[in-house]
Structures are given as structure tokens and as C-alpha cells.
Amino acid sequence: MGKKKVKKIQHYSSSQKILLVGEGNFSFSSCLAKAFGSATNMVATCLHSEDALRRKHQSSRPHMAELKRRGCLVLYEINVCDMNQNPSLVSKKFDVIIFNFPHAGHFGLNETDHLLIEMHRNLLQAFFNSARYMLTRGGEVHVAHRDDWPYNKWKIEELAERADLYFKEKVDFNAIDYPGYNNKRGGAVRCDGKFPLKSCFTFKFCLKENTSQMPDNLLGKKI
């Protein structure tokens, strides 16, 4: 029996072990699963409980059903800030970790407010710090992000550098390249609505060579 044919969509393929975090209505994960024909190579996660997700994003139901039907591991209540320590993920390594349009929430603040920008930066810094320990050798972290003002004030390349992840490239992100994908707003304000996808890119990061992939709290301990 021959090998299964590798199927691709944009930067992603069925031969990769893929972790998706911070999913909204799981439409991006569902798009990849359909493109691959199977999702046994994928783990898709969100911050909310399953009940909360269904309330916030009613459109998630068919996408979640599609993922489970195709063999994707779907996990709820996964915090990107410490996901490498989550019992369901602690032993797993991934070729690609995807975080599309990260957002810390609104809290009554405007996107131009310095305090909210710092909250977004803190979220991404914690994500990078955690994601770096979950990569296979040669693995990549992908962050889809708007690169116009005020979102470029987040300076995500600087944040990745602090986590010993080097900037590889950024490529245009076009939603039409991912059939069925519907972006969703962050936070609790009109959370099932969309936001404008202007000046969007996928930022790709890799671990610097000779960088330890063992968390600091395990260094020096016998495993």
C-alpha cells in the first residue's frame, strides 16, 4: 500500500503536526481539516469552555462537528499563556503552532489606548514564551496579525525575539485563501461579529539555533 498523498493549503500540509490556539468559531481549523481530508494531525483549542463557546459563537457548531468527524482533537479552556504545562498538551510537540489575530479583550478600552496595547503585548509575550517549548526541531510559530496602526504598536517581532524566536518572514494573509473561514472579534463585545482584515500578514517565527526547549523550571532536574 502506497503512502498517503500529502495535501496542502497555503503554508500548511497534512504531513505537519499542527496546533491551533485561540480559535473563535473554529472555522479556520475546519477549513484546514477539509483541505487535508483528515484532521488527525491537528489539535484545535480555544480559551472558553464548550458551553461558553457555543453561547459566544453560535456558528461554531458545524465547524466543531466537522473537526471531530475528521479526527481532530478539540480542547477547551486552553490558556495560551501556559499551554505548554497543560496536561493535555504537555507531552506533545508540533511542527506549526498557529495563533490567528490574538486579542486580549476590550475591557471598555479603545484599541489605541496604551493600556490595552500593553495587555495585547503581555498576552503575546506569554504565548511566545509557552509556544517555544512545544515546537519540533525546525518547527514554526505563525501569528496572523494586522500590521497597520495601532496594531503595529504591538511590535510582535520584538516580543518573539525575547522568547528566543527569530523572525523568518511575513506573508500576506488573505481570508479568501481559506474557504469557509470567518474571523471573529476578540473579547465580549459583539464577539460573534467580524472585524476588518486590513493590512494582514502571517508572521512566521522559528527557534534560534542552540536554544533550549526545556522550561527553566526543569533545567538541572533529572527527567
pTM > 0.85: yes or no:
yes
Which pLDDT tens digit goes with each residue over 123-179? 999 999 999 999 999 999 999 999 999 999 999 999 999 999 999 999 999 999 999
Mean pLDDT value across the chain: 90
DSSP codes joined into one string, the chain: -PPPPP-EETTEETTS-EEEES-SSSHHHHHHHHHHS--TTEEEE-SS-HHHHHHH-TTHHHHHHHHHHTT-EEE-S--TTSGGGSTTTTT--EEEEEEES-----TT--TT-HHHHHHHHHHHHHHHHHHGGGEEEEEEEEEEEE-STTGGGG-HHHHHHHTTEEEEEEEE--GGGSTT-----SSSSSTTS-----SEEEEEEEEPTT---S-GGGTTS--
% the chain with pLDDT above 90: 77
Predicted confidence at residue 85, as pLDDT, reads 97
Which pLDDT tens digit goes with each residue over 73-125? 999 999 999 999 999 999 999 999 999 999 998 888 899 999 999 999 999 99
Predicted confidence at residue 145, as pLDDT, reads 96
